């Protein structure tokens, strides 16, 4: 009961001086809004819109097959857009100017080379700023010539082993048979449920968890402030247990953390279009996150001498953990040691848990992640309890 009174008084005080609103809601919401406004197109790659031009200077059977069977079906599937242009110069010019990402030029003599007379090459000209699209253009052309070359390899192997040159018409007769041999290797495409957060959700969640570690300090730090202001002595003299004082301060942190996170989840969903996923799952992760933040905060409070010192140390820890945990940028993509380091932070697991929800998981999907986050808080907070008595002195 005494704990409740302490918490209520602290909460009233924090709301009156407005700093809790700023740290808990305004700052994270503002930054999430700025980031998602600026960067969400970038992150989702919505700007990637691949266009190719093709110029057929050969007009033979193989060349037409490349345009009509190689390129147009992929255009129809929406992988990229293809336009046919009259001259090779026009195709190259379009790629140079960036009107298209890459241009194919099929030279004269291509179809003849496909039938074994000489050599030829499809020319791919990519715009310098479209390296991926250029790579794809050359892969598509490569697949097509690969199929023709494969028949060439089959016939070449045949005549090498037979030990003589082909008689007139003999090679042509074998082509359909060589083509009839099915490709021994095929790709089976599947898609996996994405566990990646949408850009809007990522920035909302990243900022929310970063500022959570700063918001919780407004409760636990009260322990040090009471001592500095000389009110700790009076609290200790009052007929309330020492535990009630700690619980009261912890309750303040807990309420501030949970309320600010709840406001952020709802606010970013409505204002920024963030989609956090299954509500129960989010609630579990938020609770775990608040516990983790409080655990660290108690350690800091137990070690620090003054509230200012604790405030400073907590900010350092909050920013470093957030940076390593991938709140600002997806640091796990760096791989190796940094990725492992990242997975030691509660932030990384909080975001992973949300990723599991984004893949359509139910509330249960967050458990491995939420468990780690909560455990992080329980272990750190538990350790702090050994020393918290030190703070409870006048």
Partner 1 sequence: MIKILTVGWANTLRLFRQRSNIFFVFVFPLLIILLLGVMFGGGFDALVAVSVEGEEGPLAASLVESLDALDDISVERCASVEAATDAVQRRRVTAGVLIPAGFDAGLLGGEAVEVGFLTRPGDQNGMLTLEAVRAVVAAAGTPIRAARFVAAEGVASFEAALPVAQLIASGEPSLTVTYATAGESVFEDFENLGTFDMGAGSQLVLFMFLTSLAGAADLILTRRLGVARRMLSTPTSTGVILMGEAAGRFGVAMVQGVYIMVGTLLIFGVNWGDPLGAAAVVILFALVGSGAAMLSGSIFRNEQQAGGLGVLLGIGLAAIGGAMVPIELFPSTMQTIARFTPHAWAIDAFAELVRRDGGLLDILPQLGVLAAFAAFFLVLATWRLHRVLTH
Of 6, 31, 85, 265, the one binding partner 1 (CB under 8 A) is 31
Nearer to partner 1, 168 or 335 (CB): 335
Q: Does 48 bind partner 1 (CB under 8 A)?
A: yes
| Token reading at 171 | 């090679």
Interaction residues for partner 1, span 350-379 (CB under 8 A) = 352, 355, 359
**CB of residue 319 to partner 1, shortest distance in Å:** 7
Interaction residues for partner 1, span 219-278 (CB under 8 A) = none
**CB of residue 41 to partner 1, shortest distance in Å:** 6
Nearer to partner 1, 3 or 56 (CB): 56
Whole-number Å distance between alpha carbons of 291 and 377: 5
Q: Does 88 bind partner 1 (CB under 8 A)?
A: no
Nearer to partner 1, 154 or 269 (CB): 154
- Nearest CA to 85 out of 94, 77, 76 is that of 94
* Inter-CA distances, 116 with 57, 110, 166, 253, Å: 19, 10, 12, 79
Whole-number Å distance between alpha carbons of 79 and 10: 58
Q: Does 30 bind partner 1 (CB under 8 A)?
A: yes
Of 6, 85, 95, 370, the one binding partner 1 (CB under 8 A) is 95
Of 37, 89, 262, 280, the one binding partner 1 (CB under 8 A) is 37
Interaction residues for partner 1, span 305-344 (CB under 8 A) = 308-309, 312-313, 315-316, 319-320, 323, 329-335, 338-339
Whole-number Å distance between alpha carbons of 117 and 258: 75
Give how many residues touch partner 1 by CB under 8 A: 109
Whole-number Å distance between alpha carbons of 132 and 310: 49
- Nearest CA to 56 out of 90, 84, 95 is that of 84
Interaction residues for partner 1, span 115-174 (CB under 8 A) = 116, 118-129, 131-136, 138-143, 145-150, 152-154, 156-158, 160-162, 174
Do 24 and 215 meet the contact criterion of CB atoms below 8 Å apart?
A: yes
Do 1 and 245 meet the contact criterion of CB atoms below 8 Å apart?
A: no
Nearer to partner 1, 194 or 279 (CB): 194
Half-sphere exposure of 213 (CA within 13 A, CB side): 32
Query: In 10 A of CB 372, how many CB atoms?
Result: 20
Nearer to partner 1, 215 or 291 (CB): 215
| Token reading at 321 | 């953990």
Q: Does 42 bind partner 1 (CB under 8 A)?
A: yes
């Amino acid at each position: 009961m005494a704990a409740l009174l302490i918490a209520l008084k602290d909460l009233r005080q924090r709301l009156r001086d407005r700093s809790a609103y700023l740290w808990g809601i305004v700052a994270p919401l503002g930054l999430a809004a700025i980031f998602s406004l600026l960067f969400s197109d970038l992150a989702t790659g919505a700007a990637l819109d691949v266009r190719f031009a093709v110029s057929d200077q050969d007009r033979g059977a193989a060349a037409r097959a490349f345009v009509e069977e190689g390129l147009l079906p992929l255009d129809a599937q929406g992988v990229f857009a293809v336009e046919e242009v009259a001259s090779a110069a026009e195709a190259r010019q379009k790629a140079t100017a960036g009107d298209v990402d890459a241009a194919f030029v099929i030279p004269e003599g291509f179809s003849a080379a496909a039938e074994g007379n000489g050599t030829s090459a499809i020319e791919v000209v990519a715009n310098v700023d479209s390296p991926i699209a250029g790579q794809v253009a050359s892969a598509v052309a490569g697949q097509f010539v690969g199929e023709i070359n494969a028949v060439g390899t089959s016939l070449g192997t045949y005549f090498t082993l037979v030990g003589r040159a082909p008689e007139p018409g003999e090679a042509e007769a074998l082509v359909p048979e060589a083509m009839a041999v099915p490709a021994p290797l095929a790709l089976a495409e599947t898609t996996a449920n994405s566990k990646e957060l949408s850009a809007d959700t990522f920035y909302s969640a990243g900022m929310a968890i970063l500022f959570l570690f700063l918001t919780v300090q407004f409760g636990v730090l009260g322990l040090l402030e009471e001592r500095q202001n000389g009110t700790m002595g009076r609290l200790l003299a009052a007929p309330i247990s020492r535990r009630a004082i700690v619980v009261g301060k912890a309750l303040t942190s807990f309420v501030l953390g949970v309320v600010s996170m709840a406001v952020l989840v709802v606010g970013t969903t409505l204002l920024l279009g963030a989609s956090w996923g299954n509500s129960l799952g989010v609630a579990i992760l938020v609770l775990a996150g608040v516990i983790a933040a409080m655990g660290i905060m108690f350690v800091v409070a137990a070690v620090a001498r003054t509230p200012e010192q604790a405030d400073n140390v907590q900010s350092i820890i909050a920013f470093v953990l957030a940076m390593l945990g991938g709140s600002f940028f997806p640091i796990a993509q760096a791989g190796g040691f940094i990725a492992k380091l990242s997975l030691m932070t509660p932030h990384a697991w909080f975001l992973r848990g949300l990723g599991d929800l984004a893949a359509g998981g139910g509330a249960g999907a967050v458990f491995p992640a939420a468990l780690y986050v909560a455990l992080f808080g329980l272990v750190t907070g538990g350790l702090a309890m050994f020393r918290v008595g030190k703070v409870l002195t006048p």
